[in-house]
Amino acid sequence: MNTVILEEFDGIVWQAKKVELDPEDFAIDDQALDANMCAIGSKLYFYSNLSATLYAQAQRKKNKVEEVYAEIAQLYRKDNEKYTEGNLKEKVSLYPSYISSKNDYIQSESDYKRVENLYKSMNKVADILISLSYKQGQELKKMGGSFE
């Protein structure tokens, strides 16, 4: 459950690879606040970039579903028989190629939404880190310390 499937184009074909999502990315250690603050930028970049890439992948899969649907529907439309859109949709939905492409799209859309929510959560982690840093700075000032 802590992985998503990311497809990358190698110039010839799309290659699927698993991307591990580390729950520890969202952990906050108030004893290592400086290290957490230094790492948050690259974590935000990672989740933002992954989210955008998965969005594009989901849209590509959605287009494939529509393409497969159109190809199969065209086979039925070539017949002299008339079909209502409902009948046509029912017949197309039984084709293995349509089912497969639809399942690929559903999985890809799910991965995108999951990572998009993780990106939003990472923004919240950044906000918390900023608040903790401010609080720590205020505590240092009260104790007579400084940041220099």
Q: What is the mean pLDDT of the chain?
A: 91
In the prediction, which pLDDT does 133 show?
87
In the prediction, which pLDDT does 1 show?
59
| Three-state helix/strand/coil letters over 8-51 | EECCCCEEEEEEECCHHHHCCCHHHHHHHHHHHHHHHHHHHHHH
Q: Enumerate residues 6+ apart whose C-beta is below 8 A from 57.
A: 6, 7, 108, 111, 112
Distance CA 120, CA 26 (A): 11
**φ and ψ of 20, to 5 deg:** -80, 135
DSSP characters for 62-79? HHHHHHHHHHHHHHHHHS
Q: How many CB atoms lie within 10 A of CB 28?
A: 12
**% of the chain with per-residue pLDDT over 90:** 70
Reported as a single tens digit per residue, the pLDDT across 117-145 is 999 999 999 999 999 988 888 887 888 75
In the prediction, which pLDDT does 147 show?
55
Reported as a single tens digit per residue, the pLDDT across 60-105 is 999 999 999 999 999 888 887 888 889 889 999 999 999 999 999 9
In the prediction, which pLDDT does 145 show?
57
In the prediction, which pLDDT does 81 show?
83
